[in-house]
């Protein structure tokens, strides 16, 4: 790819370097899903059993599906919808489902991005410099159930997205990811050390890793599998879209190992930061969506006012940046659909999409407070967007992608694409293809059927 610099005359951008793609794809994967969603879901679902099913999902489905999406995107040089339309018209709906999923995720994700931004400022003002669970819970609830404050921060967050995505692939996404990822990683490692050395953290570690199988249910398995899709940005054509910007000599196989590997490592680190410290400091681990926002400030408070404030500012800034590198990929799915399929200019596509998404985010934000009485199938608007994507659209999207590769695209074409015409060694090809054809669609189908009754809130 380094041989093919981006030119202003080519209609499609390309990533400027191999490492640029890895950072961008990992940037898409690593986000609020890892740091906000994974620890709180692990807490809600009773710890170890959820974590183990999550890890199994990454292992059995995540790596393989990542490779499938890379292959489809690079083969066609088209985003999700276009990729399927060109390869087999009957599967165009999978791409459309993906665009819809991107849309719905972007209907609540920026709200949480906004919370992160607001927490940078709350750290600066010293409002969070306490370890008391009730105070920190009160601050968090005060923010999310409010009317204007969360909408204001969501707006700031959306503007940051728009600026990056409107700048195009090479300029915006790549640069943002390169700086943020290593910094985030280093900070998480520091925080893990702090968290697991707190007195009483051992119990939290046991909660996180020692499974209590009595917690196992269809709902838990679907939630854990859905979290794997969400965290790896899979099942909605996001990785198809990113790899459509990828050159023909890139090694897809190694990327499909590195990226899920990094993402899972970050999720585990975040779990190790948040869960043991929550237990050690007396927070309710099953308290739900606020877990990261109420426990992390307490960890910083234990570090003393100056050091704590410094780390707090760095943490929430990195969290917001990690969220940004994910949401720009979500926005990119919708935007590249409009560019490729509807011939819109990038600027128009970004503009129109952002306005609609912002309205959805306002509704999602208000559904935590003033509009909490309004529910769809027992869920408020925020949870409805969240569950519709992670429990329905992403798993089914992944299932159809798998069926497409295993049954319609065919072994020869798949082999040629993933091995760059036989030049890349991939000794597990047959295993991978067998997983695509049989195992993955069947597993997803069974998990979906047994777990979907957990959808109503
Ligand atoms: N993977 C992202 C995260 O963990 C969210 C995301 C989902 C991004 C789907 C793109 C596609 O935060």
The predicted model gives 53-63 an average pLDDT of 98
Q: Quick one: which atom of ligand 1 is closest to the CA of 263?
A: 4
Q: Pick from 59, 120, 33, 44: which is nearest to 275 by CA?
A: 44
CA of 32 to the centre of ligand 1 (A): 7
pLDDT, residue 373, reads 97
Q: What distance in Å separates the CA atoms of residue 219 and residue 46, rounded to the nearest whole number?
A: 12
Phi, then psi, of 211 in degrees rounded to 5: -70, 140
Closest CA to ligand 1's atom 10: 233
CA of 305 to the centre of ligand 1 (A): 33
CA of 229 to the centre of ligand 1 (A): 8
Q: Looking at the predicted structure, is the pLDDT value of residue 7 above 70?
A: no
Closest CA to ligand 1's atom 4: 33
Kindly list the protein residues whose Cβ atom lies closer than 6 A to any atom of ligand 1: 28-29, 31-34, 105, 230-231, 233, 236, 238, 326, 329-330
Q: Looking at the predicted structure, is the pLDDT value of residue 4 above 50?
A: no
pLDDT, residue 170, reads 55
Q: What distance in Å separates the CA atoms of residue 277 and residue 300, rounded to the nearest whole number?
A: 11
In this structure, are residues 316 and 120 in contact, taking their beta carbons and an 8 Å threshold? yes
CA of 224 to the centre of ligand 1 (A): 15
Over pLDDT 70: what percentage of the chain?
95
pLDDT in tens, 21-47: 888 899 999 999 999 999 999 999 999
CA of 333 to the centre of ligand 1 (A): 11
Beta-bridge partner residues of 376 = 379
From 27, 231, 264, 387, the mutation candidate for ligand 1 (largest count of ligand atoms within 8 A of CB) is 231
From 24, 27, 29, the mutation candidate for ligand 1 (largest count of ligand atoms within 8 A of CB) is 29
Q: How far is CA 184 from the centre of its chain?
A: 15
pLDDT band at 178 (very low <50, low <70, confident <90, very high): confident
Average pLDDT score over the chain: 93
Closest CA to ligand 1's atom 6: 233
Q: What distance in Å separates the CA atoms of residue 381 and residue 353, rounded to the nearest whole number?
A: 19
CA of 260 to the centre of ligand 1 (A): 12
Total-model pTM: 0.95
pLDDT in tens, 383-403: 999 999 999 999 999 999 999
The predicted model gives 412-434 an average pLDDT of 97
pLDDT, residue 12, reads 67
CA of 397 to the centre of ligand 1 (A): 14
From 95, 329, 395, the mutation candidate for ligand 1 (largest count of ligand atoms within 8 A of CB) is 329
Q: Looking at the predicted structure, is the pLDDT value of residue 10 above 50?
A: no
CA of 323 to the centre of ligand 1 (A): 8
Q: Quick one: which atom of ligand 1 is closest to the CA of 32?
A: 12
Q: Quick one: which atom of ligand 1 is closest to the CA of 34?
A: 4
Q: Looking at the predicted structure, is the pLDDT value of residue 6 above 60?
A: no
CA of 199 to the centre of ligand 1 (A): 34
Q: Looking at the predicted structure, is the pLDDT value of residue 302 above 70?
A: yes
pLDDT in tens, 119-155: 999 999 999 999 999 999 999 999 999 999 999 999 9
pLDDT, residue 173, reads 61
pLDDT band at 183 (very low <50, low <70, confident <90, very high): confident
Q: What distance in Å separates the CA atoms of residue 378 and residue 362, rounded to the nearest whole number?
A: 19
Q: Quick one: which atom of ligand 1 is closest to the CA of 36?
A: 12
pLDDT band at 2 (very low <50, low <70, confident <90, very high): very low
- Of 21-25, 196-200, 213-217, 300-304, minimum mean pLDDT range: 21-25
Give the list of residues 6+ apart from residue 135 with CB closer than 8 angstroms, or none.
none
Over pLDDT 90: what percentage of the chain?
84
């Amino acid at each position: 790819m380094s041989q093919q610099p981006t030119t202003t005359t080519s209609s499609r951008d390309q990533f400027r370097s191999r490492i640029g793609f890895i950072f961008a794809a990992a940037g898409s994967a690593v986000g609020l899903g890892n740091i906000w969603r994974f620890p709180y879901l692990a807490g809600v679902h009773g710890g170890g059993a959820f974590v183990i099913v999550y890890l199994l999902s990454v292992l059995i489905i995540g790596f393989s599906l990542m490779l499938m999406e890379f292959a489809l995107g690079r083969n066609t040089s088209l985003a999700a919808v276009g990729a399927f339309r060109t390869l087999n018209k009957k599967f165009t709906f999978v791409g459309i489902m993906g665009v819809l999923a991107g849309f719905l995720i972007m209907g609540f994700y920026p709200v949480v991005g906004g919370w992160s931004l607001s927490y940078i400022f709350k750290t600066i003002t010293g409002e969070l410099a306490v370890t008391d669970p009730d105070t920190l819970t009160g601050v968090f609830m005060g923010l999310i159930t409010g009317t204007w404050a969360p909408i204001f921060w969501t707006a700031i967050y959306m503007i940051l997205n728009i600026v990056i995505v409107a700048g195009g692939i090479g300029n915006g996404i790549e640069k943002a990811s390169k700086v943020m990822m290593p910094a985030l990683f280093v900070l998480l490692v520091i925080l893990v050390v702090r968290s697991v050395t707190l007195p009483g953290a051992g119990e939290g570690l046991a909660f996180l890793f020692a499974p209590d199988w009595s917690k196992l249910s269809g709902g838990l398995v679907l939630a854990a599998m859905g979290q794997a899709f969400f965290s790896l940005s899979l099942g909605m054509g996001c990785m198809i879209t990113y790899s459509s910007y990828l050159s023909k000599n890139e090694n897809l196989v190694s990327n499909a190992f590195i990226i899920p590997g990094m993402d899972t490592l970050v999720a585990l680190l975040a779990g190790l930061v948040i869960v043991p410290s929550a237990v050690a400091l007396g927070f309710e681990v099953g308290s739900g969506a606020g877990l990261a926002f109420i426990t992390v400030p307490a960890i910083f408070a234990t570090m003393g006012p100056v050091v704590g404030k410094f780390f707090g500012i760095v943490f929430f800034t990195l969290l917001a940046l990690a969220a940004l590198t994910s949401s720009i990929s979500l926005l990119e799915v919708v935007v590249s659909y409009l560019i490729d399929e509807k011939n819109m200019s990038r600027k128009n596509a970004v503009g129109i999409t952002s306005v609609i998404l912002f309205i959805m985010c306002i509704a999602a934000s208000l559904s935590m407070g003033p509009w909490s009485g309004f529910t769809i199938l027992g869920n408020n608007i925020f949870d409805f967007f969240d569950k519709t994507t992670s429990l329905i659209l992403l798993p089914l999207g992944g299932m159809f992608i798998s069926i497409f590769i295993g049954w319609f695209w065919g072994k020869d074409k798949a082999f040629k694409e993933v091995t760059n015409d036989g030049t890349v060694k991939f000794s597990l090809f047959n295993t991978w293809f067998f997983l695509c054809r049989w195992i993955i669609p069947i597993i997803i189908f069974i998990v979906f059927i047994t777990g979907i009754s957990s959808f109503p809130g």
